[in-house]
Amino acid sequence: MLIIFVMFFTFLNLVVVSGILVGLIQGAIDAVRTHYTSDIIISSLNDKSYIENSPEVLSIVRSLSQVDAMSARYIDGGTLEANYKTRSNEKEKPNTAVASITGIDPIAEDKVTNLSKFIVEGEYLTPMDYDQVLLGAYLVKKYLPIDSPGFTALNDISPGTKIKLKVHGVEREVVVKGIIKAKVDELSMRVFMVDSQLRSMIGRNDYNVAEISIKLKPGADPSVVRDILKQNGIDKVAKVQTYADAQPKFIKDMVDTFALLGNMLSSIGLVVASITIFIVIFINAITRRKFIGILKGIGINEGAIEVSYILQSFFYALCGSVIGIIVLYAFLEPWMALHPIDFPFSDGILVAPIGGTMMRIGLLMLTTIIAGFIPARLVVRKNTLDSILGRN
Amino acid sequence: MIEVKNLKKSFKDGESTTEVLKGIDFIAKSGEFIAIMGRSGAGKSTLLYQMSLLDEPTSGEIFIDNKNTFSMTPAEKTSFRLIALGYVFQDYALLPEMTALENVALPLLMQNIGEATAFKKATDALTKVGLENRLNNLPSKLSGGEQQRVSIARAIAHEPKILFADEPTANLDNESSSIIMNIFKQLHKGGQTIIMITHEEEYSKFAERIVHLDDGKIVSMEKN
């Protein structure tokens, strides 16, 4: 029973350690997909700050049957100033922060990215809000108490606080309606306001937006929709990417790195398991050496005796793995999907694809069988008579 | 029939060599019951181990039914032991986690004769030694005498050419010993070749012939 327990924990070590390490990044990737890019993101070309002919692009997107919802965003750089009212003289340093100002349709945005769920203070925007903004938490000092020369955040900010917003040389006093705190940096570092407000500030009368996030209906393949959009010529005026395309390469490298790290840690567990099995089988075979001798004496061939020990090892590994699979897929994985681990930069889930799990089980079986065979062979090969008589 | 020719066995202990068997010549005919006797260290067990192919003699030859066992590979010897020889050990040598029936059936199963046949033969052998009511008992639930009877059943279930017994009554009380010896007597009557080592004069009388060993040599052979 104890050995099966060891095998069970070895299985968990093999699958769960790397699963959590990969899940740590996967959680971040999933969050970016769910709360920022959605399934497909159309963004401005590198040399442009907006998508040309956006209304036409939006109508093409809207016409696709696979599309469930979409959110078009106006984006421009801007500065925020918090202490402009309390500054007593011009020598006092203004409390400013630089941010991407994002104009959204609050209802459409919420439908696509569920942005309202990240409000930690105040309220979410409504389409009728005038001169009201949502601030990302990274722009508010109390949520990001970092004092870096290259980075500033606003002091004493809470819902209702008035701040000065300057975009494209246009300055406007706005009220902080709410604060957004998410583990997706693109949300926590932005300022959100109603699209018509920002459009009027930046003079975007052509309705050309900078970003369009598209949420597809369940079962729709993002790459297929991406290709349809490209076939419609959208790639000539914008970058059309699936959530996977939009991932920076370093994220993919991090997934690979963490998977490798997980495998390295798991391999230690595998070594421990094989040593455990080796010791168990060796002690078992040594203490039963006389009986092994007797079996050989009455004519049972060595191979059959070795196979019996291999089967014993196999049984331990199989039981541990079966229990592990049940615990993993019936409890751990669904539980962690519902209750992700609260890492500072992501909600870590458990990534345990069945193919990888099966491969690890195979590895565990193989290691265990070898670890069982070697001591059995050592003992079985001893002289039959010496074994029967207990001679060394 | 088993024929032993000029059998020698010596053991090396560092630089020195101890010669335990010093040229044994001996024939046991089919159906014979032979008791090998001698004081401790005379070489009785060593002789039995050589004849029963559990050990390799230093020199000499052993023929079983005119087959020279010297030329056999270890695997052939193992197979030969399974099919043609039977063993009764002093300490019963039963597998503790197996029932009496399973202990007896194990060598039969290893002969690939089929599960049903193996268990039928095992049941018959246990019936022969009077344990038909103890088939499903573990060795720990059996007395010493009963365990030895299981051991005999295991040794005879496959109808071996020769049955070797290494002091089969050494660990038993008088009553159990008598039962065991009577089983040997019945087996012998049925034509079983038996070669048995014993210390006890009383039980050697069950044999047809007694071989006395001393200092690695046969010193006398007498018929009962």
Contacts of A380 in chain B (CB under 8 A): none
The answer to whether residue A149 scores a pLDDT higher than 80 is no
- Kindly report the nearest CA distance between residue A306 and chain B, in angstroms: 14
Model confidence over A304-336: pLDDT tens digits?
889 988 898 889 889 999 999 999 999 999 999
Checking phi first, is residue A115 left (phi over 0); if not, alpha (psi -120 to 50) or beta?
Answer: alpha
Is A296's Cβ below 8 Å from some Cβ in B? yes
What's the pLDDT score for residue B90?
A: 85
Query: Cβ distance A72 to A195 under 8 Å?
Result: yes
The nearest CA of chain A is from the CA of B89 a distance in Å of 9
Q: Is residue A299 within 8 angstroms of chain B, CB to CB?
A: yes
Contact A347, A182 (CB under 8 A): no
Query: Looking at the predicted structure, is the pLDDT value of residue A145 above 80?
Result: no
| pLDDT value of position A147 | 67
Residues B107, A300: C-beta atoms closer than 8 Å:
yes
Is the confidence at residue A155, as pLDDT, over 90? no
Contact A336, A24 (CB under 8 A): no
Q: Which helix (H) or strand (E) holds B163?
A: strand B162-166
Of B79, B89, B93, the CB nearest to A299: B79
Cα(A73)–Cα(A104) distance, rounded to whole angstroms? 5
Give pLDDT, residue A345: 75
What distance in Å separates residue A310's CA from the closest CA in chain B? Answer: 17
Residue range A58-73, pLDDT digits in tens:
999 999 999 999 999 9
Name the closest residue on chain B to residue A294, using Cα atoms.
Answer: B93
Partner residue facing B110 (CB), from A290, A297, A299: A299
Number of H helices, E strands in chain A: 12, 12
Question: Cβ of B106 under 8 Å from any chain A Cβ?
Answer: yes
pLDDT of residue A256: 84
Asked if A386 reaches chain B (Cβ–Cβ under 8 Å), the answer is: no
Best of B54, B103, B104 to mutate (most A CBs within 10 Å, chain A): B54
Q: Which residues of chain B are within 8 Å of residue A301 when distances are taken between CB atoms?
A: 75, 78-79, 82, 110
pTM, entire model: 0.68
Angle at B140 between CA B134 and CA B142, to 5 degrees: 35
Question: A119 - beta bridge partners?
Answer: A180
Nearest CA-CA distance, residue B51 and chain A, Å: 13
Flag residues of chain B having pLDDT under 50. Answer: none
In tens, the pLDDT along A337-346 reads 999 888 877 8
Residue A6 has pLDDT above 90, yes or no: no
pLDDT, tens digit (0-9, with 9 covering 90-100), for A185-222:
889 999 999 999 999 999 888 999 999 999 999 999 99
> Do the chains contact at B85 and A299, CB–CB below 8 Å?
yes
Q: Give the one of A295, A301, A385 whose C-beta lies nearest to B75's C-beta.
A: A301
Residue A14 pLDDT: 83
Among the listed ranges A48-57, A83-92, A262-271, B4-13, which one has the minimum average pLDDT value? Answer: A83-92
CA distance A71 to A27: 23
**Domains by residue range for chain B, with CATH:** 2-223 (3.40.50.300)
Q: What is the pLDDT of residue A291?
A: 84
Assess contact for A111 and A71: CB atoms under 8 A.
yes
Please check whether residue A298 touches B, CB under 8 A: yes
**Is residue A366 scored above 80 in pLDDT?**
yes
Say if residues A214 and A41 touch (Cβ distance below 8 Å).
yes
